[in-house]
Amino acid sequence: MNSYGWSRTTAYAVGAAVLLATATGCAGGGDSGAASAALTAPGGTADPARSAAPSRPQGAPTPPPSAPPAPAAGDAAAWAKWNLTPLPPAPPAPADKPVKLRRTGPVPVFSEVRTDDKVVFLTIDDGAEKDPAFVEMLTDLKVPVSMFLTRDIVKDDYGYFKRLQALGNHVHNHTSGHAQLSRAAPEKQKAEVCDAQDALTRQYGTPPLLFRPPYGDGAHTPALNAVVRQCGPGAIVLWRESMQIHDMQYQAADRKLRPGDIVLAHFRGPKDLKGETMTQMFGELLARIQEQGFAVARLEDYIEAPAA
């Protein structure tokens, strides 16, 4: 692990990054071809945490009040309801944030966060599918996600994402009209980023901290970087893995998650997922993460916003 949160991305050949990003980002459904593993979790029906809890003997000192639950610490029964094996609980948010954003200069571009914690971060793009069952799923499982919303895709129902925001999930900027930004004129680039920033700030009460260009396109160009800085977001966030229907596409040749990886998924439904629902897709994503022994942490817990 190196000393820069985003240097793995920076070292990555820009042309290849754009190609990969274009191949995997936001371009409709696509099956990775991986076989679909059943969501049924082995032995996932009981609640061992509850049944194994010993009763406290009389006269024993009162335990200190417990800390607020860490992300992804939903109880075993909740996971069993979705036929999933619980993920390990995420460690506490680091006090010294590995990513520190600044008010001036180029905004950083990164696809992963420097950390030794065995965690990955889940990001969900666009906002086309607005499945109430997904709100129920995140309410049950307490898995944190970061939402990169496109104004024109969510504006028919901003409220859906307020329900996800109310669970502690943050809203970020994914343009106003999902344009391919490297081909857009400077004024168009600015409208795509700034107009979305304004609309999302009005709707969700807080300015999006992060920006993701559609398809990852233009992420490494100085022109787009300057527009993002001007419009307000403090960083451009790409990804290391992209969830398809049953499994992720990995940029790493060994097809393994690494600590701090950012995973891309989409708000998609049966039309784009060959009949699978948003919650089935997301359940399979969690199963693939669980198989590799990772927890899901909240991306914003690892990022220090610029000083006021």
Site pattern 193..232 for Zn ion (x: CB under 5 A):
---------------------x------------------
Return the number of the residue (125 or 192) whose C-beta is nearest Zn ion.
125
Q: Closer to Zn ion by CB, 25 or 283: give it.
A: 25
Query: Could you tell me the two tokens for 64?
Result: 């200190």
By CB under 5 A, which span of 76-84, 124-132, 284-292, 297-305 interacts with Zn ion? Answer: 124-132
* Of 27 and 46, CB closest to Zn ion: 27
User: Does residue number 149 form part of the binding site for Zn ion (CB under 5 A)?
Assistant: no
Would you give the distance in Å from CA 150 to the centre of its chain? 15
Closest CA to 181 of 221, 240, 153, 229: 221
Closest approach of Zn ion to the CB of residue 305, in Å: 24
Nearer to Zn ion, 76 or 273 (CB): 273
Contact region for Zn ion (CB under 5 A) — 25-33, 69-77, 246-254, 299-307?
25-33
Interface pick for Zn ion out of 112, 117, 126, 261 (rule CB under 5 A): 126
Q: Where are the alpha helices (DSSP H) in 166-243?
A: 186-190, 196-204, 222-231
The DSSP output letter for 36 is -
> Cα 24 to chain center, whole Å?
15
Q: Are 121 and 18 in contact (CB under 8 A)?
A: no
The C-alpha angle with vertex 111 and arms to 93 and 218, in degrees rounded to 5, equals 140
Please work out the total of residues on this chain that contact Zn ion, with binding judged by CB under 5 A.
4
Piece in contact with Zn ion (CB under 5 A), picked from 55-63, 125-133, 154-162, 245-253: 125-133
Q: Are 217 and 242 a contacting pair, CB within 8 Å?
A: no
Find the shortest distance in angstroms from Cβ 16 to Zn ion. Answer: 20
Work out whether 192 is an interface residue with Zn ion (CB under 5 A).
Answer: no
State how far the Cα of 33 lies from the Cα of 255, in Å rounded to an integer.
14
Instruction: Single out the residue of 125, 192, 261, 301 in contact with Zn ion (rule: CB under 5 A).
Output: 125
Backbone angles phi, psi at 121, to 5 degrees: -120, 135
Which residue, 7 or 180, has its beta carbon nearer to Zn ion? Answer: 180
Residue 26 within binding range of Zn ion, rule CB under 5 A: yes
Alpha carbon distance 246, 233 (integer Å): 32
| Contact of 233 with 201, CB cutoff 8 Å | no
Q: How far is the CB of 25 from Zn ion (least distance, A)?
A: 6
The angle at the Cα of 169, spanning 235 to 232, to the nearest 5 degrees, equals 30
- Smallest gap, in angstroms, from Cβ of residue 271 to Zn ion? 16
Residues that bind Zn ion (CB under 5 A): 26, 125-126, 214
